[in-house]
Structure 1
């Protein structure tokens, strides 16, 4: 059997100690996640991070770095390869319609995110934020 992981991106957008988070429906439950999604054909990882952040939050961002590359096997048995980016918020466009399944975007503190740990889409949500806070960030030219 051929192993094919799903390539995804996530974006940590931080502003004055608050993180841009998405409240969404996943498998009939409400969960919290960074703006995140799958890479599309003919799209770079950075383009995917821009697109997913805008589609899920109505925020335009400047992608500034990479927190890390993660592998995660979901409860569905699928393995996801997530590249987690860092970004600065540039402009909010509240007139944009959010992606299907997205309930709303929130700015949350780390304590608020930790308090909802049971509601996070996956353990990667908190792990990526903690890596953002405690580990080196890598330049975008790491991606070739």
Structure 2
């Protein structure tokens, strides 16, 4: 049996004390996640984060730092993910842009609103990345070597 982790990116986007989340329909329920997804061939981690954020939320963002690098094994299926979480600031919204097919909507939530609904987190990485962002420090994007 071969073990192969999945490399993913996520982005914490803050605006006026609220944070950009996606609402997805997974395993029969609506859940919240940061804009996130898998690294694709021939793309850098930063490019993947920008692409996923735009595809899932219709927001162009500017990456401002690295929140952290997380190793997570999903209890539901045993798959291991390495998540690189970025911080970003919103630049421009494209309200007429269609979102990825598995995204119900993009929504701005406060930390309290997110924490009030733990049954709606995609995984425990969702609040952890947010709290790590808020606690700091942010790491330089120069940490990444393409």
SS at match of 1:95: coil
Does residue 8 of the first structure (1) align with residue 43 of the second (2)?
A: no
Q: Take 1:41 and 1:47, find their aligned partners in 2: how far apart are those partners?
A: 11
Does residue 87 of the first structure (1) align with residue 88 of the second (2)?
A: yes
Q: Take 1:135 and 1:76, find their aligned partners in 2: how far apart are those partners?
A: 31
1:27 is displaced (CA, Å) by: 1.8
Gaps of 5+ in 1: none
| Structure 2 residue aligned with 1:100 | 101
1:118 is displaced (CA, Å) by: 1.4
| Structure 1 residue aligned with 2:58 | 58
Q: TM-score, normalised to structure 1's length?
A: 0.98
| Structure 2 residue aligned with 1:121 | 122
RMSD: 0.7
SS at match of 2:108: strand
Moved over 6 A (4+): none
SS at match of 1:47: helix
Q: Take 1:115 and 1:38, find their aligned partners in 2: how far apart are those partners?
A: 28
